[in-house]
Amino acid sequence: MNCIIIDDEITARVVIAQLCRTHDNLHVVEEFPNAIQALKYLNQNEVDLIFLDIHMPDFTGFDLIETLKNPPKVILTTSDANFAIQAFEYKCIIDYLVKPITAERFDKAVQKAESLIVQDIEPVAPLRKRGETSGKDLYVNIDRRLIKIDMSSVYLVEAKGDYIQIKTDNKNYTVHSTLKKIEEKLPDHTFLKVHRSYIINIKKIIDIEDNSVLIKKDVIPVSRSNRSELMKRLNLL
């Protein structure tokens, strides 16, 4: 994991860098004495993890997070324990380390970061190519648990920002992933992307009218470019 350290205290940066060197999976690519310099770097470069101090002159750690459009995972490092509740209002913040930071506590934070960065929506076995699945089930990562979903029960997948919602006959699941990624996992003889935000199970279609389809109680738009492919898939009389 590529990471950066942001702290206005040089001693704190040295300590965190030393702790990082005890982990083979951590690579410190840059250190910054303030959030402004770090912001300029992050606008041009991607990292997996930020060790971020809260209290810095002019531009705080929270200011930096709110400025970044898609912030990476963040481990806060601070001398003040009073911001813990506020910190976890941000989805990107995965841990909160109070100085002085112990090696044991640092290790736990890094393990948490690694599991959250590495884990994503994946089936148990890798798929060879589009539409060629390893079985009838799909496994998704939700709150660090792998949940098994029967693919035949899925009737709709909807993109919602950085997340997708998978709707099944029994339950709905919200997963941090992209529509493109799950499209590669679903069998193409059953599922079709009909709109930039929707993938449908064509076997679950109830009705088609103009440029929309009805599945369960959901009316899904069908883009003009995907309508012809949808009609090819249907068993028309």
- Second CATH level (architecture) for the domain 137-233: Beta Barrel (2.40)
Report which of 116, 71, 79, 111 is spatially closest to residue 97, judged by C-alpha positions: 79
Residues of the chain with CATH 3.40.50.2300: 2-118
Q: Does the N-terminal peptide bond of residue 33 adopt cis geometry, omega within 30 degrees of 0?
A: no
The DSSP 8-state label assigned to residue 214 in this structure reads E
* pLDDT value at 75 more than 90: yes
Q: Per-residue confidence at 27, pLDDT binned at 50, 70, 90?
A: very high
Mean pLDDT of 72-78: 93
The DSSP 8-state label assigned to residue 81 in this structure reads G
Residues of the chain with CATH 2.40.50.1020: 137-233
145's tokens: 């648990």
pTM: 0.52
Neighbour count for residue 14 (Cβ, 10 Å): 13
Mean pLDDT of 103-121: 82
- Under CATH, what is the fold of the domain 2-118? Rossmann fold (3.40.50)
Considering the chain, what is the average pLDDT of its residues? 86
* pLDDT value at 74 more than 60: yes
The rounded distance, in Å, linking the Cα atoms of 130 and 172 is 24
Q: Per-residue confidence at 213, pLDDT binned at 50, 70, 90?
A: very high
| DSSP sequence for 11-53 | HHHHHHHHHHTT-TT-EEEEEESSHHHHHHHHTT---SEEEEE
Report which of 22, 26, 41, 106 is spatially closest to residue 6, judged by C-alpha positions: 41
Residues 156-173: tens digit of each pLDDT: 999 988 889 999 998 999
Q: Is 222 helix (H, G, I), strand (E, B) or coil?
A: coil
